[in-house]
């Protein structure tokens, strides 16, 4: 029988007690949507995690709450080389440029 694991909410705070970050943890790794805040309470950054790794589009906000930077995280999935065009184990080189 497979047991489903539930995520738990994590909240961390600045030394002054204001909210610093909030998000979900699953199996001791960040998962789902996360947000970070400045000491004045304005949102600083937000984005998604999968198995502890940043994925997708991340937003960074200025002190007015407006988006000033968008970062698209690169996939860490290995890419497969294209298969040989002639059916052999060797790749066929394209025309020289």
> Do the domain assignments include residue 2?
no
> Do the domain assignments include residue 91?
no
> Do the domain assignments include residue 97?
no
Handedness of CA 86, 91, 92, 95 (dihedral sign): positive
Query: What's the pLDDT score for residue 55?
Result: 95
DSSP result, 33-77: EEEEE-TTS-EEEEEEEETTEEEEEEEEE-TTS-EEEEEEPPP-S
> Do the domain assignments include residue 90?
no
> Do the domain assignments include residue 94?
no
Structural domain containing residue 41: 8-72
> Do the domain assignments include residue 3?
no
The tokens 């984005």 sit on which residue? 47
Angle at alpha carbon of residue 20, lines to 18 and 23, rounded to 5°: 130
Query: What's the pLDDT score for residue 76?
Result: 61
State the total domains in the chain.
1
> Do the domain assignments include residue 39?
yes
**pLDDT tens string 23-63:** 999 999 999 999 999 999 999 999 999 999 999 999 999 99
Percentage of the chain with pLDDT > 70? 73
How many CB atoms are located within 10 Å of the residue 49 CB?
A: 20
- Higher local confidence (pLDDT), 71 or 2: 71
């Amino acid at each position: 029988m497979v047991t489903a694991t539930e995520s738990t909410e994590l909240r961390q705070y600045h030394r002054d007690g204001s909210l610093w970050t909030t998000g979900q943890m699953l199996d001791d790794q960040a998962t789902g949507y996360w947000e970070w805040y400045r000491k004045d309470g304005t949102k600083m950054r937000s984005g998604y995690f999968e198995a502890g790794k940043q994925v997708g589009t991340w937003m960074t906000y200025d002190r007015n709450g407006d988006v000033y930077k968008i970062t698209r995280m690169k996939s860490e999935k290995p890419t497969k080389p294209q298969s040989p065009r002639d059916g052999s184990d060797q790749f066929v080189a394209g025309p020289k440029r």
